[in-house]
Amino acid sequence: MAHDQSNKSIAELRKEYTLAGLEEKDLDPNPMKQFAKWLDEAVEAKLPEPTAMTLATATREGKPSARIVLLKRFDNSGFVFFTNYESRKGKELTENPTAALVFHWIELERQVRIAGSVSRVLREESGAYFHTRPAGSQISAWASRQSEVIPSRSILERNAERFEEEFRGKEIPLPLGWGGFSVKPSEIEFWQGREDRLHDRLRYSFRKNGTWNIERLSP
Protein backbone atom coordinates (compact mmCIF):
# COMPACT_ATOMS: atom_id res chain seq x y z
CA MET A 1 0.00 0.00 0.00
CA ALA A 2 2.81 2.42 0.90
CA HIS A 3 4.49 1.63 -2.42
CA ASP A 4 1.27 2.38 -4.32
CA GLN A 5 0.87 5.66 -2.44
CA SER A 6 4.45 6.66 -3.30
CA ASN A 7 3.81 6.00 -6.99
CA LYS A 8 0.61 8.04 -6.84
CA SER A 9 2.50 10.95 -5.29
CA ILE A 10 5.14 10.82 -8.03
CA ALA A 11 2.49 10.76 -10.74
CA GLU A 12 0.93 13.91 -9.31
CA LEU A 13 4.12 15.96 -9.39
CA ARG A 14 3.77 18.93 -11.73
CA LYS A 15 5.85 21.93 -12.76
CA GLU A 16 4.87 24.63 -15.20
CA TYR A 17 7.64 26.10 -17.35
CA THR A 18 7.14 29.82 -17.80
CA LEU A 19 10.56 31.51 -17.86
CA ALA A 20 11.14 31.99 -21.59
CA GLY A 21 10.45 30.93 -25.13
CA LEU A 22 12.73 30.00 -28.03
CA GLU A 23 12.06 31.32 -31.52
CA GLU A 24 13.88 30.54 -34.75
CA LYS A 25 14.75 34.21 -35.26
CA ASP A 26 16.65 34.22 -31.96
CA LEU A 27 18.91 31.28 -32.86
CA ASP A 28 22.48 31.65 -34.07
CA PRO A 29 22.98 29.84 -37.43
CA ASN A 30 25.91 28.00 -35.81
CA PRO A 31 24.72 25.64 -33.05
CA MET A 32 28.09 25.81 -31.31
CA LYS A 33 27.66 29.56 -30.89
CA GLN A 34 24.11 29.01 -29.67
CA PHE A 35 25.40 26.42 -27.19
CA ALA A 36 28.10 28.84 -26.01
CA LYS A 37 25.42 31.47 -25.35
CA TRP A 38 23.30 29.08 -23.30
CA LEU A 39 26.30 27.71 -21.39
CA ASP A 40 27.42 31.26 -20.56
CA GLU A 41 23.95 31.99 -19.22
CA ALA A 42 24.04 28.80 -17.11
CA VAL A 43 27.41 29.85 -15.67
CA GLU A 44 26.22 33.42 -15.03
CA ALA A 45 23.16 32.02 -13.23
CA LYS A 46 25.61 30.22 -10.90
CA LEU A 47 24.02 26.85 -11.53
CA PRO A 48 25.68 23.89 -9.81
CA GLU A 49 27.95 22.02 -12.25
CA PRO A 50 26.81 23.78 -15.44
CA THR A 51 29.21 21.66 -17.52
CA ALA A 52 27.76 18.37 -16.23
CA MET A 53 26.27 16.28 -19.01
CA THR A 54 24.73 12.85 -19.34
CA LEU A 55 26.83 10.68 -21.64
CA ALA A 56 24.98 7.76 -23.23
CA THR A 57 26.97 4.99 -24.90
CA ALA A 58 26.20 1.47 -26.14
CA THR A 59 27.99 -1.78 -26.81
CA ARG A 60 28.45 -3.06 -30.34
CA GLU A 61 25.26 -5.09 -29.79
CA GLY A 62 23.32 -2.00 -28.69
CA LYS A 63 23.19 -2.51 -24.90
CA PRO A 64 23.05 1.08 -23.53
CA SER A 65 24.55 2.72 -20.48
CA ALA A 66 24.62 6.31 -19.24
CA ARG A 67 26.39 8.42 -16.64
CA ILE A 68 27.28 12.04 -15.83
CA VAL A 69 30.63 13.42 -17.02
CA LEU A 70 32.01 16.96 -17.25
CA LEU A 71 32.52 18.91 -20.46
CA LYS A 72 36.07 20.25 -20.66
CA ARG A 73 36.21 21.85 -24.11
CA PHE A 74 34.00 22.46 -27.12
CA ASP A 75 34.42 24.04 -30.55
CA ASN A 76 33.30 23.32 -34.10
CA SER A 77 35.14 19.99 -33.99
CA GLY A 78 33.18 18.61 -31.04
CA PHE A 79 32.49 18.31 -27.31
CA VAL A 80 35.44 16.96 -25.29
CA PHE A 81 35.55 15.06 -22.00
CA PHE A 82 38.23 12.92 -20.34
CA THR A 83 38.12 9.46 -18.82
CA ASN A 84 39.84 6.11 -18.39
CA TYR A 85 39.88 4.36 -21.77
CA GLU A 86 39.48 0.99 -20.01
CA SER A 87 36.31 2.06 -18.17
CA ARG A 88 32.93 0.83 -19.33
CA LYS A 89 32.26 3.99 -21.28
CA GLY A 90 35.77 3.95 -22.73
CA LYS A 91 35.43 0.38 -23.96
CA GLU A 92 31.95 1.01 -25.38
CA LEU A 93 33.10 4.13 -27.23
CA THR A 94 36.05 2.22 -28.66
CA GLU A 95 33.90 -0.60 -30.05
CA ASN A 96 30.90 1.58 -30.96
CA PRO A 97 32.15 5.16 -31.52
CA THR A 98 28.84 7.00 -31.33
CA ALA A 99 27.32 8.77 -28.34
CA ALA A 100 24.57 11.05 -27.09
CA LEU A 101 24.94 13.92 -24.62
CA VAL A 102 22.32 15.78 -22.59
CA PHE A 103 22.79 19.02 -20.66
CA HIS A 104 19.92 19.74 -18.25
CA TRP A 105 19.76 23.20 -16.75
CA ILE A 106 16.50 22.82 -14.85
CA GLU A 107 16.75 26.24 -13.16
CA LEU A 108 16.64 27.84 -16.62
CA GLU A 109 14.04 25.30 -17.84
CA ARG A 110 16.40 24.22 -20.62
CA GLN A 111 18.11 21.17 -21.99
CA VAL A 112 20.42 20.51 -24.92
CA ARG A 113 20.56 17.12 -26.65
CA ILE A 114 23.54 16.17 -28.82
CA ALA A 115 24.25 13.07 -30.92
CA GLY A 116 27.26 12.28 -33.03
CA SER A 117 30.38 10.26 -33.77
CA VAL A 118 33.23 9.89 -31.31
CA SER A 119 37.00 9.88 -31.62
CA ARG A 120 39.93 10.10 -29.21
CA VAL A 121 41.69 13.42 -28.87
CA LEU A 122 45.43 13.67 -29.44
CA ARG A 123 47.54 12.35 -26.57
CA GLU A 124 49.23 15.77 -26.38
CA GLU A 125 45.89 17.39 -25.57
CA SER A 126 45.09 14.72 -22.99
CA GLY A 127 48.46 15.31 -21.33
CA ALA A 128 48.04 19.07 -21.32
CA TYR A 129 44.65 18.77 -19.60
CA PHE A 130 45.82 16.00 -17.23
CA HIS A 131 48.50 18.25 -15.78
CA THR A 132 45.98 20.99 -15.00
CA ARG A 133 44.14 18.64 -12.64
CA PRO A 134 44.83 18.68 -8.88
CA ALA A 135 47.58 16.28 -7.85
CA GLY A 136 45.07 14.09 -6.02
CA SER A 137 42.99 13.71 -9.15
CA GLN A 138 46.10 12.79 -11.13
CA ILE A 139 46.98 10.14 -8.55
CA SER A 140 43.43 8.74 -8.66
CA ALA A 141 43.77 8.16 -12.41
CA TRP A 142 46.69 5.84 -11.62
CA ALA A 143 45.13 4.23 -8.55
CA SER A 144 41.71 3.36 -9.98
CA ARG A 145 41.04 0.70 -12.60
CA GLN A 146 37.77 2.41 -13.39
CA SER A 147 34.66 0.18 -13.62
CA GLU A 148 36.52 -2.96 -12.42
CA VAL A 149 35.27 -4.82 -9.33
CA ILE A 150 37.41 -4.31 -6.19
CA PRO A 151 37.05 -6.20 -2.88
CA SER A 152 37.11 -3.10 -0.67
CA ARG A 153 37.71 0.65 -0.54
CA SER A 154 40.87 0.07 1.50
CA ILE A 155 42.53 -1.50 -1.54
CA LEU A 156 41.75 1.63 -3.58
CA GLU A 157 43.16 3.84 -0.84
CA ARG A 158 46.34 1.74 -0.58
CA ASN A 159 46.80 2.01 -4.35
CA ALA A 160 46.52 5.80 -4.09
CA GLU A 161 49.05 5.89 -1.25
CA ARG A 162 51.46 3.72 -3.25
CA PHE A 163 51.35 5.99 -6.32
CA GLU A 164 51.51 9.11 -4.17
CA GLU A 165 54.78 7.80 -2.71
CA GLU A 166 56.09 6.70 -6.13
CA PHE A 167 55.53 10.12 -7.71
CA ARG A 168 56.44 12.24 -4.68
CA GLY A 169 58.48 15.25 -5.83
CA LYS A 170 58.04 14.35 -9.51
CA GLU A 171 55.71 15.34 -12.31
CA ILE A 172 52.94 12.74 -12.42
CA PRO A 173 52.95 11.19 -15.90
CA LEU A 174 49.85 10.74 -18.01
CA PRO A 175 48.63 7.12 -17.67
CA LEU A 176 48.65 5.19 -20.94
CA GLY A 177 44.97 4.28 -20.57
CA TRP A 178 43.64 7.75 -19.79
CA GLY A 179 42.62 10.54 -22.14
CA GLY A 180 39.96 12.48 -23.96
CA PHE A 181 37.10 11.72 -26.32
CA SER A 182 35.48 14.22 -28.67
CA VAL A 183 31.83 13.93 -29.71
CA LYS A 184 31.45 15.45 -33.18
CA PRO A 185 27.75 16.39 -33.42
CA SER A 186 25.48 15.48 -36.30
CA GLU A 187 22.41 16.75 -34.41
CA ILE A 188 21.96 19.32 -31.64
CA GLU A 189 18.55 20.07 -30.16
CA PHE A 190 17.76 23.06 -27.95
CA TRP A 191 14.78 22.59 -25.65
CA GLN A 192 13.07 25.40 -23.76
CA GLY A 193 10.26 24.54 -21.37
CA ARG A 194 6.93 26.24 -22.02
CA GLU A 195 3.55 26.41 -20.31
CA ASP A 196 1.08 23.51 -20.69
CA ARG A 197 3.87 21.25 -22.00
CA LEU A 198 3.92 23.13 -25.33
CA HIS A 199 7.69 23.23 -25.18
CA ASP A 200 9.98 24.76 -27.81
CA ARG A 201 12.26 22.21 -29.51
CA LEU A 202 14.60 23.42 -32.24
CA ARG A 203 16.95 20.94 -33.87
CA TYR A 204 20.09 21.57 -35.90
CA SER A 205 21.01 18.78 -38.34
CA PHE A 206 24.39 18.77 -40.08
CA ARG A 207 24.27 18.80 -43.88
CA LYS A 208 26.86 17.18 -46.15
CA ASN A 209 27.77 20.62 -47.53
CA GLY A 210 28.97 21.69 -44.08
CA THR A 211 25.98 23.84 -43.11
CA TRP A 212 23.27 23.29 -40.52
CA ASN A 213 19.55 22.83 -41.14
CA ILE A 214 17.22 24.12 -38.39
CA GLU A 215 13.80 22.53 -37.80
CA ARG A 216 11.14 22.94 -35.13
CA LEU A 217 9.98 19.70 -33.51
CA SER A 218 6.63 18.99 -31.92
CA PRO A 219 7.07 18.84 -28.11
What residues are annotated to the active site? Answer: 197
Q: Alpha-carbon distance 106 to 99, whole Å?
A: 22
Q: Alpha-carbon distance 191 to 102, whole Å?
A: 11
Q: Alpha-carbon distance 170 to 50, whole Å?
A: 33
Nearest to 142 by CA among 183, 115, 175: 175
